[in-house]
Chain A
Amino acid sequence: MQTKQLLAGCGRMIKIRNKKGQFKVQQMAFMLIAVILFFALVAIFVLAFQFSSMKEKATVLQEENALLLVAKLADSPEFSCGNSFGETRANCIDFDKVMILKQEISKYKNFWGVSNIEIRKIYDFGREKTCTSSNYPDCNTLKLIESTSSGYDYSNFVSLCWKEQKKTGTGQMLYDKCEIGKITVRYREKI
C-alpha cells in the first residue's frame, strides 16, 4: 500500500494512508460481515426448521405410544384382574390392586411413557370423588399418574372389579363387584 510521509510543521513524522485503499479495506470488512451474517441466518433458519419437525415427529411418536398403550394397559400385570375374580377376564382392571399401585406410583412415574393415567367409573353420575385409601371404594375417579402438562387424551372402556363387603343377617359377606369403567392416558405434547 502506498504511503506518503510528510514532515509536519511541528517536526513530527505523520503517516497518511491512501484513502482509496482505506475505503477498499472497509468495503471488504463490511462484505465479510454481510457474508457471515447471511450464512448465520441461513443456519439458524435450517436449524429452526429441523428442530420444529423433530418436535412434531416426537409428538406423533408419543401419540402412537398412547394409542397402542391405552388399548392394552388394562391387561398389563400391574392392572389386570387375572383369575382373582373367579375366571380369567380380559380388559379387566383389579381396582384393589390399582389402589395399592397408587401408593407405589412414584416408582412407576416413567414406566409407561405417558404423562397421565386416570381410571373412572362410568355409571357414577355424581360429582367427581377422587379415590383415596380413606374413601375407597366409595369414589369414582382414580388419578394414578398426574401431571399438569398439556397433551391429548386417549380412552378405552374396561371392566373395573373389586372385592366388596355386604352386610347380611349373619354378618358380613364378601363378593366380587364389577362395573364399567374408562381408562384414560394422556401423552405430553412437545411444545
Chain B
Amino acid sequence: MKIYNNKRAVEFSFNWLFAVILGVVILVLAVYAVTKMISTGGTETGTIASKEIGILLNPLEINFESGKISSISIVTETRIYNKCDNTGTFGNQIIQTSQKTFGKFSEPSFEVKFPNKYIFSGNYEEGKKFSVFSKPFDFPFKTTDLIYLISVDKKYCFVKMPGNIKQELKNLNSSNLLTENCFNSADAIKVCFDSDTGCNITVSYNQGYVEKNHTRVYFETDALMYGAIFSEKDVYECQAKRLMMRTKELANIYNKKAASLEQKNCNSNLDLGIFGILLGNYKTSRDLSGLFIKSNEIKNANEAATCRMW
C-alpha cells in the first residue's frame, strides 16, 4: 500500500483489495454458519428433549404408576408444547419443546410423534419442573392411561369437589393441586364444581361438562374430566377423538376374540360390533354420553358372561 503526500489519495493494490473483500466474505460466512449451527443445535437439543419426555412417560402410559404423581425436571427453563393430530388409525400425540437461551425462548423443536400416548395439558407448559400423573381410561375395557402434565409453577385450586375427587387429589399429595384454603390465592386457577362465582373453570360433575374461557367440553369418567380441566379445548377434543379411535380398534379385537372363543363354546354375547360402528361415528365430546351408555351395557354384559373378554 502506498500513501502519497496528497492526503486525499490512498492507493490500494489489487492484493489488498482482494484480501479485504475475501476477508469480509469469509467473516460474514463464518458468522452466518455459527448462527445457523447454534440454531440447529438448539433445535436438535429440543427435539431430543421432546423424544426423551415421551419415552420417560412410558411407565405412566402402561398402568402401574397410576394414581401417583411424578415429576420431570429439566435444567433450563423449557416450554413443552402439547399438540395432537387425529389422522391415520390412532392419530398422534405431538411433543415439541423450546428452551430459554439468553432470556428468550428458542423456536419450537421438530415435532416428535407418539401414536400410543395421550397427554392432557395447556397448549404449552412452561418451567423447569413439571408434575405428571396418570389415570386409566376404561370404556368399558381398559383403553389406555391418560397422562396429565402441569408445570409446578401453575397452581390449581379445587373448590366444592365431590368426596371421591377430593380424596383422590389428597392422595396425589401434589403441591400444585390444592384442595383446601386456596380460594383467595391470587395466582391459583380456581376449579369450581357446580358453582361459578369467581372461578376460572367450572365443572358440572353430574351433567358431564367443563366450562373454561367461555367454551364447553363434555366428559364421561373422571379420567376425561381431569383432561378437560387441564387442557385447552382443541387438545381435549383431539385427544378424546384419538381415544375413541383406539377404543374402536380394541373393540374390533375383542369382537374377533369373542367370535373365535365362541367356537370353543365360550360365549360372551357382547354387542361389540355395534359399539365399534358407534365409535367410528364419533365427532366431538358431545357424542360421549351416548357412547358411555352403550359402554356401560357392554361392561355389565361382560361381567355377567361365563366367558369374560377382558
Interface residues of A (CB under 8 A from B): 24, 28, 32, 35, 39, 43, 46, 50, 54, 57, 61, 64-65, 68-69, 71-73, 75-78, 80, 82-84, 90, 96-97, 99-101, 103-104, 107, 110-113, 163, 165, 172, 174
Q: In the complex, are the beta carbons of A84 and B55 less than 8 A apart?
A: no
The answer to whether residues A68 and B256 also contact, given A75-B64, A80-B142, A111-B115 and a CB cut-off of 8 A, is: no
The answer to whether residues A100 and B257 also contact, given A82-B310, A111-B116 and a CB cut-off of 8 A, is: yes
Select one of A32, A72, A77, A96 contacting B59, CB under 8 A: A72
Q: In the complex, are the beta carbons of A39 and B266 less than 8 A apart?
A: no
Select one of A68, A72, A111, A113 contacting B90, CB under 8 A: A111
Asked if B18 lies at the interface with its beta carbon under 8 angstroms from chain A, I say yes
Select one of B40, B55, B144, B265 contacting A68, CB under 8 A: B55
Interface of A is mostly: helix
How many chain B residues touch the partner (CB < 8 A)?
Answer: 46
Select one of B14, B18, B261 contacting A96, CB under 8 A: B261
Q: Which of A28, A65, A77, A111 has the most chain B CB atoms inside 10 A of its CB? A: A77
Q: In the complex, are the beta carbons of A83 and B33 less than 8 A apart?
A: no
Q: In the complex, are the beta carbons of A100 and B253 less than 8 A apart?
A: yes
Please, which residue of chain A has its CB at the minimum distance from the CB of B56? A68
Residues of chain B contacted by A100 (CB below 8 angstroms): 253, 256-257, 260
Residues of chain A contacted by B48 (CB below 8 angstroms): 57, 61
Q: In the complex, are the beta carbons of A104 and B63 less than 8 A apart?
A: no
Residues of chain B contacted by A24 (CB below 8 angstroms): 14-15
0 or 1 for each of B1-32: is its CB under 8 Å from A? (1 = yes): 00000000000001100100010001001000
19 A-B contacts (beta carbon < 8 Å): A35-B22, A39-B26, A61-B51, A65-B55, A65-B58, A71-B59, A72-B61, A76-B116, A76-B144, A77-B142, A84-B309, A96-B261, A99-B260, A103-B256, A104-B253, A107-B90, A113-B114, A165-B264, A172-B265
| CA gap between A188 and B54 in the complex, in Å | 18
Please, which residue of chain A has its CB at the minimum distance from the CB of B137? A77
Interface of B is mostly: helix
Q: In the complex, are the beta carbons of A82 and B22 less than 8 A apart?
A: no
For the complex formed, measure the closest distance between the CB of B129 and the CB atoms of chain A, giving whole angstroms: 21
Q: Which of B110-157 contact A (CB under 8 A)?
A: 114-116, 141-144
Please, which residue of chain A has its CB at the minimum distance from the CB of B310? A82
Asked if B295 lies at the interface with its beta carbon under 8 angstroms from chain A, I say no
Please, which residue of chain B has its CB at the minimum distance from the CB of A110? B115
Residues of chain A contacted by B266 (CB below 8 angstroms): 163, 174
Known: A78-B250, A163-B261. 19 other contacts (CB 8 A): A32-B22, A35-B22, A61-B48, A72-B61, A75-B62, A76-B116, A77-B141, A80-B63, A80-B142, A82-B310, A84-B308, A96-B260, A96-B261, A97-B257, A100-B253, A100-B260, A101-B253, A111-B115, A112-B116
Residues of chain A contacted by B296 (CB below 8 angstroms): none
Asked if B86 lies at the interface with its beta carbon under 8 angstroms from chain A, I say no
Q: In the complex, are the beta carbons of A77 and B22 less than 8 A apart?
A: no
For the complex formed, measure the closest distance between the CB of B21 and the CB atoms of chain A, giving whole angstroms: 10
| CA gap between A111 and B15 in the complex, in Å | 63
Asked if B252 lies at the interface with its beta carbon under 8 angstroms from chain A, I say yes
The answer to whether residues A174 and B265 also contact, given A96-B260, A111-B115 and a CB cut-off of 8 A, is: yes
Q: In the complex, are the beta carbons of A61 and B58 less than 8 A apart?
A: no
Residues of chain B contacted by A75 (CB below 8 angstroms): 62-64
For the complex formed, measure the closest distance between the CB of A28 and the CB atoms of chain B, giving whole angstroms: 6
Residues of chain B contacted by A165 (CB below 8 angstroms): 264
For the complex formed, measure the closest distance between the CB of A122 and the CB atoms of chain B, giving whole angstroms: 22
